[in-house]
Chain A
Amino acid sequence: MAPSHYSSGARTTHAEAILGPELNARLGDTKVLLVGAGGIGCELLKNIVLTGFGHITLLDLDTIDLSNLNRQFLFRKKDVKQSKAMVAAQTAAAFNPNVHIHPIHGNIKEPQFDISWFQSFDIVLNALDNLDARRHVNKMCMAAGVPLVESGTAGYLGQVEPLLKDRTECFDCVPKPTPKSFPVCTIRSTPSQPIHCIVWSKSYLLGQLFGEDEDATGELDDAEKEGENAQEIATLRKEAQAFNSVRQALRTPGAPDAAKLAFQKVFNSDIRNLLSMGDMWKSRSPPTVLDFDAIMDGSFSLQRSTAGPSNVNGNNAANGVASVNGAVVSGSKKTEQLLNGHGHANASMSSASSLKDQKRLSLRDSLDLFVSSTNRLAARLQAGEETISFDKDDDDTLDFVTAASNLRSAAYGIEDKTRWEIKEMAGNIIPAIATTNAIISGLIVLQALHLLRQSYTHLRNVHIQYKPTVPLSSTSLAPPNAACAVCRDTYSVLLCDPARARLGEVVEGLLGGSGREVSVYEEKRILSDPDFDDNNESTLESLNVGQGRFLTIVDEEGEYGTIGVAIGALPPNHPIDAPPFILPDPLPKPARKATPPPPATPPPAAGLKRSAPHDDDGIEEVEPSAKRTKTATDTETPSAPSNPFAAPLSSPSKRRRLEEDGLVLMEDKHDKLEDEDVIEID
């Protein structure tokens, strides 16, 4: 680092020392994208304003909540419910008249934030709180070739990592812990832990009563394919269809006892139906049918003791929590440890039991809460709200989930949970404090300056840890993982009009007439392969491949690397009679591979909700991977994939045809159908 003269206290001395005078002079012209205006975002915004960055784009989709104010210091009580990005920008801009802050109240995954938009920044700083957005920004930065600083905190722990394509690992080079998902039947008919009842209330019951009028049988179809108990599923199908009358009552002003009707259906008649299936209860204790009036008048008693704690995961409640929504804070091992229950105070919260929402609820309390929250939610529907989904900061939904999951727990003899605990488990809450965010944000700025100066030897992964002897540990960066399915791809940009450009011609053009055999994907959806050309004449738009999305072109023989093609908009002056797309110049040149690649890392499990918008258009979900991988794994022990449909065993189209015949393809002879009756505690 070149010595430089400090004019003590001047705003930019800091940056000047790291950047050197020339780059420092350009700091005012540097364009920064800051994704997230939460705990880290507020701190970071203050730091980069003070450091002298001239152009800051700040994006956040969230609004301010009271629970943010213990750390997000750019917000005041009066700002609650306002846009985070807008308020943060206003507060911070006042400090430095020379800074231009452009706030955006929006979602980073929206299509207009495409590759060219990302390329307009010199550096991207992540201040995010969820895995999905982190992966998205990582991919966009890898494709755009823009340096990224990734970060995350959880309680006293935190980490920062600088990421740059071809030089360092990317966020997806190291597989992230996949969100835990539960077999459908465990959630819907045989829960054994509080988290099962919470997931049921939040993701199933709440939606059935107050959500969209959707056919909830899709996940049952999937479950049946995966080999869950057919008889049980048939019962669950009937159960799902019988929600209509309850939904009607909840939406009819003045309908008496809608809450009681809902209660009778799910805690009385549905349980009765389940009980009638004698086989199910041979090896497990049957649930108890709850009686609304008897609970109300105090004459109800549960037939068996629920005194014994049946929380199978014991101290590991946070484990379930951290993963139900898939929002794992970061890839840090230390952070994972915290998420796995090493760091939470709730285990030692005995002295906090006086807090109101940490009181144990009696069965009667839960019933009262069920009735009152159901009525509150029903009133909202009647007042014009179309659908209501779970939000941990929405008291009505949290009360409902608290009440419903405790009632279900009572019926199944499962330990109850307080509203405080349920909020954490259902809302995926990770403790967050000002100090950790301050440390992490300071480190992010330093990494950003090193990246801008291209002084790569100074880059470090830094972790905050518990060890009192080494509060910060820093490690040198690892090179990219050769098998990474995100940063090892060759990226390119295709400017086009998706309404007119057809898949076949676009792919042919991109391959430059080489005639290679390829499969083409969008995310996990297969669009074409050598045996499946039905979509070649379809426009990209009709295949839902618009601006901001990627075409992934995989070499069928695994001989060449994968090409990722970002879809961008045609320039405004593009002649109307010209072809509806502009090929990149030069054409993407994927590297020739020395050896066939190992199987791609599996995507995160889909969880309970179906995410595919395209069930009926001849498109299915598989992970992009070369066919050749099959031969590569013949002689090796294949790693067992969690999803039998993600198998690279054969061409997806063949697989689909077989499945239509009712066959389930197994990965190899070691695979078993899921036996959901076995509960594994690990």
Chain B
Amino acid sequence: MPDSQTIESATTALATRTPQPDTKTRRYDRQLRLWAASGQAALESARVLVISGSATSTSILKNLVLPGIGHFTILDHERVSPADAGNNFFLEGQSSVGKFRAEEAVRLLRELNDGVEGKADTRIIEQVLDNDPAFITSFSLVIAHNLNENTVARIAKLLWEDETYPSFVVVRSSGFLAEFSIQFHEHTVIESHSETAPTLRIDKPFPALLEYANSLDFTNMDPTEHSHIPYVVILVRVLEDWKKSHNGAAPKTYEEKKEFKKTITAMKVKVDEENFDEAEAQAYRCWTESSVPSEIAALFQDPKAFSAASSSSSTSPFFALLAALRAFTVQHDPPQVLPLSATLPDMKSNTVNYVHLQTLYKKRAEEEKAQFKKYLALSGGAGIDDALIDSFVKNAHALKLLRGRQWTSVHSSAETLGNSMAMNSKHVSTHLALASLSSLQAKQADTKVTTEALTAEAATLLPSGLELPEEWDEAAGEIARSPNADLPNMAALLGGLVAQEVIKMITKQYVPINGYCVVDLIEMWTGVVG
């Protein structure tokens, strides 16, 4: 079976009774467990253009070809030099010298995965920009490594012209220092894999949960049973009792909170009842109001969410879903909460009680999702498939909407740069030093790179009102020492870092870097400017 078949067609084509997967699923098993079939499908429909066949470029590509990107093209008119042959694993040593770099690299990269389409293009990038810009905009993502800065600016400008044009990854490296940034128009993430958990709504319990908590007779309960009541239920009950004696209000002051916790401890019938210890530790949930997180509330204000709500045919499912979510938070009872999550954290309990609680949450979550779907139908999302709706509702507390900016050699906001300098001036120094190098070399390719020349260049690049950062001399000195070295190990590491972010962009899972990611391999740190 050819690897180029899509996973769905490969697996549904053979309707056998055995559940064994086909060779393609086997090949991608370890990554499918990370980004699922939806991520894999996105990867397989992506077309990537890489400009230059440097060691860094082929390292990035290696990490995209292995997991099965749909298509890649290397655009490079240079021929393989002896230096290339020594540091680029995707050339065939001396036998490649004198041949087109793009052709040699594509041939060897394609050997990694016969399901991936690869093409070499030996035209000169500037001529393509002049004569065939549609070629560049036909890809889904463009990557440039150590390209002439004027050319980078031209590509960035071209790709910024239209919202539907591909994202643009700009990579610079020099010896042990490197940076990369991604120019994108808008990037939405549903599966952000956030580490924050959604609320359990203990402060606003749904009727079935409240009823369950109220039905328990803690005083006359079997002691074993008593020590296996999940903390969620204990808290709902204690809060309910508290409110009855406090005019319906949750604990507010420090004293009240202390007293509330004491009430919980006093309920223990044995000292070692860990479920009550958990309840005490989690008591803050009673006075932390379950509401729409501020980041999500901010998304509701996005103009696109408004236009989705008023039109019946939305261009992006994300905004239709977002409009429905806003409607839900306004009109649902209780108001100002996101649809309930069916996922419970682990807690001290026995199986019976835990499963019962889980069933209550599941049932309620299903009901709220059904409500959500009604609002969705009204905001132009009638055709959205259930799997996407499930995923959206499940991740509603951690949705991300990133808006990018047009690439500039140095971050264009004086304020952002100033803040970054105050926080970590090494990051800004390195960013600025790499930009100065590009700028110098764009003026004259064979210019002699000295610390003085870099310093003079940096002064012209810095937004007015800012001075060179403290660690400037070290960063500039490091660049002046080895301005053009494309070191194999740095290429390998940078190839991993860049490809990782490219995959996040393509799969729309996890949150990609936004800004200039700076890498210092001597001290082994990374940071983000912007």
Contact = CB atoms under 8 A, between A and B. Distances in A.
A453 interface: no
Given A67-B27, A351-B36, A445-B489, A76 B17 contact: no
Nearest to B513: A468
B514 to A, nearest CB: 7
A437 B93 CA distance: 24
Contacts of B509: 345
Interface stretch (A133-141, A357-365, A624-632): A357-365
A681 B346 contact: yes
A66 B113 CA distance: 12
Interface string A368-409: 110010000000000000000000000100010010000000
Interface in A161-180: none
Interface string A336-366: 0100001111111111111111010100010
Contact of B30 (A156, A337, A431): A431
A438 B59 contact: yes
A11 B87 contact: yes
A6 B11 contact: no
For chain A, which range describes its interface: under 10, 10 to 19, 20 to 34, or 35 or more residues? 35 or more
A10 B37 contact: no
A9 B87 contact: yes
Contact of B36 (A17, A346, A432, A471): A346
Contacts of B347: 681-682
Given A342-B195, A369-B18, A435-B503, A309 B492 contact: no
Contact of A314 (B16, B81, B358, B492): B358
Interface stretch (B247-255, B323-331, B384-392): B384-392
Given A313-B346, A352-B38, A345 B33 contact: yes
Contact of B37 (A50, A342, A354): A354
Interface stretch (B301-309, B375-383, B454-462, B493-501): B493-501
Interface in A409-433: 418-420, 424, 429-433
Nearest to B17: A368
Interface string A307-342: 011101111100000000000000000000100001
A460 B524 contact: yes
Contacts of B118: none
A17 B176 contact: yes
B210 interface: no
A270 B387 CA distance: 41
B497 A439 contact: yes
A399 B20 contact: yes
Given A443-B493, A472-B524, A356 B176 contact: no
A70 interface: yes
B32 interface: yes
Interface stretch (B63-71, B284-292, B405-413): B63-71
Interface residues of B, number: 109
Interface string A28-72: 000000000000000100110011000000000000001101110
Contact of B111 (A3, A76, A678): A76
A95 interface: yes
B346 A682 contact: yes
Contacts of B26: 66-67
B133 interface: no
Contact of B350 (A309, A355, A679): A679
B526 A435 contact: no
B502 to A, nearest CB: 9
B500 A70 contact: no
B8 A66 contact: no
B89 interface: yes
Given A50-B89, A76-B111, A359 B63 contact: no
B394 A348 contact: yes
Contact of A69 (B27, B89, B345, B526): B27
A347 to B, nearest CB: 8
Nearest to B59: A438
A580 interface: no
A276 interface: no
Interface centre among B343, B362, B496 (most CB of A within 10 A): B496
Interface in B194-244: 195, 224
A342 B93 CA distance: 43
A95 B89 contact: yes
Nearest to B480: A3
Interface centre among A353, A357, A419 (most CB of B within 10 A): A357
Nearest to A1: B522
B512 interface: yes
B66 to A, nearest CB: 4
A238 interface: no
Nearest to B507: A345
Interface in B409-460: none
Contacts of A343: 34, 193
A436 B17 contact: no
Interface string B490-530: 10111111011001000001111110010101111111100
B281 to A, nearest CB: 13
A438 B487 contact: no
Nearest to B195: A342
Interface centre among B8, B22, B31 (most CB of A within 10 A): B31
B469 interface: no
A345 B485 CA distance: 39
A439 B60 CA distance: 11
Nearest to B228: A678
Given A443-B493, A466-B195, A436 B488 contact: no
Given A50-B87, A345-B39, A435-B503, A316 B346 contact: yes
A680 interface: yes
B477 to A, nearest CB: 8
B22 A435 contact: no
Contacts of B20: 356-357, 395, 399, 419
Contacts of A13: 482, 485, 487
Contacts of B481: 3, 6
A106 to B, nearest CB: 24
Contacts of A240: none
A314 B345 contact: yes
B63 A356 contact: no
Contact of A434 (B66, B274, B497): B66
26 contacts: A9-B83, A9-B485, A70-B67, A192-B351, A193-B351, A314-B354, A314-B358, A343-B193, A351-B38, A351-B387, A352-B37, A355-B21, A355-B32, A399-B20, A419-B20, A429-B30, A435-B503, A436-B500, A441-B492, A442-B492, A466-B195, A470-B526, A474-B523, A681-B346, A681-B347, A681-B349
Pick the 5 closest A-B CB pairs, nearest first.
A9-B83, A442-B493, A438-B496, A352-B37, A439-B496
Interface of A: 1, 3, 6, 8-11, 13-14, 17, 43, 46-47, 50-51, 66-67, 69-71, 73, 76-77, 94-95, 155-156, 192-193, 308-310, 312-316, 337, 342-357, 359, 361, 365, 368-369, 372, 395, 399, 402, 418-420, 424, 429-443, 445-446, 458, 460, 462, 466, 468-472, 474, 678-682
Given A69-B113, A348-B395, A356-B25, 6 more contacts: A50-B87, A70-B29, A309-B359, A342-B195, A420-B21, A472-B524
